[in-house]
Amino acid sequence: MKVYEGKAIRNVGLTGHGNSGKTSLAAGMLFLAGATNRLTRVDEGNTVTDFDDEEAQRRITISTGVACLEWEKSKINLLDTPGFNIFINDTKAALAAADSSVVLVDGVSGVEVQTEKVWSFAAEFKLPRALVINKLDRENSSFERALDSIHENFGRAAVPLQLPVGSEREFRGVIDLVRMKCFLYEAGGAGRGKEQPIPDDLAEPARKAHEALVEMVAEGNDDLLEEFFEKGTLPPERVVEGLRAAIRDMRLFPVLCASGLNNIGTDLILDLMVDYLPAPTGREPLAGQLDGQETRRAVSDSEPVSAFVFKTVADPFAGRVTYFKVCSGVVKSDVNLTNVRSGVSERLSHIGCLFGKAIQPVTELRAGDIGGVAKLKDTLTGDTLAEKGSLISYPPVKLPEPSIAFAIEAKTRQDEDRMGAALQRILEEDQSLRFYRDPQTKEFLLAGSGQQHVEVIVSRLKNRYGVDVTLKAPKVPYRETIRGTADVQGRHKKQTGGHGQFGDCWIKMEPLSRGGNFEFVNDIFGGAIPRNYIPAVEKGIVEAAANGYLAGYPVVDFKVILYDGSYHDVDSSELSFKLAARKAFKAAMQQAKPALLEPVMSVEVQAPVEYAGDLMGDINGRRGRISGMDTRGNTQIVRAQVPMAEMLNYQNDLISMTQGRASFTMEFDHYDFVPQLQAEKIIAAAKAAKEGTEEEEE
């Protein structure tokens, strides 16, 4: 592929709810532009942008795929993004590299939950948007119903640029409302639509829609509005001019018709990308930091070189593959750039244009273009690469924390040895994952956006790296605490041949507020216990608290005051006082009204409004407390605080309850007391597990 200047480049994010046809549309565009020699299909698992084995097997987009094509003397970089809520974080990360977004809406379902979410992502990045009502050749599809859904959610600024010719199986073409021309297609064809006269039965609806479009375009421009009032209309070239400015300024969002699977209207979508969507050099300068100061830099070849890394792919053969956008300057093959985060110099050998899993070599990439390079040493997603004398950095995309965690165990010792390194490579690729060890339960946890997300990672571990692991629900990290006070003695005395053991201490125990953890106060006067034994008393209490009292969970939020004791000149030792402190701790726990604490999570659920009642009923059934509710368009947002123990199976239950149309996020909020009935069950289960372990050891 030849080198393109920034003004001839379009970086377009294909977004939309899962199964709205993004990958099929991308495949049709690549075929139509001659980038592929046949029309690949999602159901055959052989598309350019869904090249991962997991995507081919599951027939869904899991992570963003990038492919470039040439159309009308321009280069279009297509970013084919995920649409299911479990993988939607990757869409947000990818849109940092886009300059506009084409949002697909299913012609049957209309605007869905994730359609609204990707729309909000594009708005956050201030991306001009166009909408495509796709799959209009499907049974029960309706352009009018889908358009009503768009207007309800995104307002009247979403204005049709086309009308469909025919419906459902008879959908065969579109009417261009700007130039008032009709184009008919052969299903699956590789050519442009054939221009035909507008059918008689559609002439009047087309005329009315054209007038409405012209009026909407004129409204936002004083010159056009004056001309419109004088002449009663605008010529096509003036409509194009006004529409281009309105789309760039996000005053209007054009709506088109298509069947991506059969390549109906695909050529006109490509025309829209070239004619109406902005080039990277036509957008506002990028915000960044230079020498600790906020700054802005124009997307221009004449500026110092800088590139933003928006995605990393862990390829088992090629190693780490880095996807980057040239933010300024010209990146040439074999150039040395500095990673602004780490200060490491990186050599960009064999840069190229992205085409699915392949990198097509080029000598250079101009400002605004998107490219890829393999085998960078220290560069990860969110990093900035810059010219040594001008180390500007661009802000990384902030993604929400994972909502669900699973305990992960290697099946064999060999798998255990390789698991850490394999997971590290996958974590470099997926920024929405977390892998860590719970300090209390000692389990290794893998956290992601949902159960399917984590299952995909487990499958990749096996297929890519030969690491076999099992998943199970994580143990709930309960805590123990006290509600009352205690004043007790701990005395350890043991006489054997030679030196004996003697330690004696008096302690008071009282509760601390939540989050207080542990406080030790030495209130010994007069040398009742020698100073060198005091740390042993504290250590004994800390060790005893770590092993728990009720059910083996750590005791927290309590204060111990050591105020008296006695010792023996010969028999006392640090060990003796440590053992005495343990006895004192157990005696104090008997008096101080011990209680069980459980982690309470802050939960936010987003679902269609019609499920609000079911959601709240379900949360109440999980001992949850509703803390707030909002409505955004057709989406209900429910905020609640729910015990972690009640959320372990929430992902699957939520999918069943809402037919997969809802999503949720969850993070730790605080610890609270476990109700007595639940506490008794937890304590009984812990004792049974302990007895079972002891029997096995015998």
693 within a domain of the structure (yes/no): no
Q: What is the pLDDT of residues 403-454, one digit of tens each?
A: 678 889 999 999 988 898 889 888 888 888 888 887 767 788 888 877 778 8
Out of 545, 565, 592, a domain closes at: 592
Contact yes or no for 25/332 (Cβ under 8 A): no
Q: What is the pLDDT of residues 659-689, one digit of tens each?
A: 877 878 777 788 999 999 999 999 998 888 7
Same domain membership, residue 510 and residue 568: yes
Query: Any idea what the CATH number is for the domain that residue 381 is in?
Result: 2.40.30.10
Q: What is the pLDDT of residues 309-335, one digit of tens each?
A: 999 998 777 778 999 999 999 999 999
Residue 51 pLDDT class (50, 70, 90 cuts): confident
Range of the domain at 27: 8-282
687 within a domain of the structure (yes/no): no
Compute the radius of gyration of the chain from its Cα atoms.
Answer: 32
126 within a domain of the structure (yes/no): yes
Query: Any idea what the CATH number is for the domain that residue 77 is in?
Result: 3.40.50.300
Same domain membership, residue 263 and residue 189: yes
pLDDT score, position 297 = 96
Query: Any idea what the CATH number is for the domain that residue 623 is in?
Result: 3.30.70.240
Q: In whole angstroms, give the CA distance from residue 205 to residue 221.
A: 25
Same domain membership, residue 128 and residue 70: yes
What SS3 class is residue 360?
Answer: strand
Same domain membership, residue 32 and residue 70: yes
Q: In whole angstroms, give the CA distance from residue 426 to residue 441.
A: 24
pLDDT score, position 695 = 55
337 within a domain of the structure (yes/no): yes
200 within a domain of the structure (yes/no): yes
Apex CA 337: angle with CA 332 and CA 339, to 5°? 140
| pLDDT(698) > 60 | no
Helix or strand (DSSP H, E) at 13 = strand 9-16
Same domain membership, residue 409 and residue 371: no
Same domain membership, residue 661 and residue 575: no
77 within a domain of the structure (yes/no): yes
Same domain membership, residue 269 and residue 179: yes
Query: Any idea what the CATH number is for the domain that residue 543 is in?
Result: 3.30.230.10
Same domain membership, residue 95 and residue 173: yes
Query: Any idea what the CATH number is for the domain that residue 414 is in?
Result: 3.30.70.870
pLDDT score, position 42 = 67
Predicted model pTM:
0.77
Q: In whole angstroms, give the CA distance from residue 353 to residue 111.
A: 33
Out of 218, 249, 282, a domain closes at: 282
Residue 638 pLDDT class (50, 70, 90 cuts): very high
Contact yes or no for 30/37 (Cβ under 8 A): no
Out of 393, 418, 450, a domain closes at: 393
Sign of the Cα pseudo-torsion (354, 355, 359, 363, in order): negative
Residue 340 pLDDT class (50, 70, 90 cuts): very high
338 within a domain of the structure (yes/no): yes
| Number of structural domains in the chain | 5
E runs forming strands in 396-554: 404-410, 434-437, 444-448, 469-472, 479-482, 486-494, 501-511, 518-522
Same domain membership, residue 485 and residue 562: yes
Same domain membership, residue 270 and residue 314: no
216 within a domain of the structure (yes/no): yes
Residue 596 tokens, joined: 């069980």
Same domain membership, residue 602 and residue 588: no
Same domain membership, residue 562 and residue 542: yes
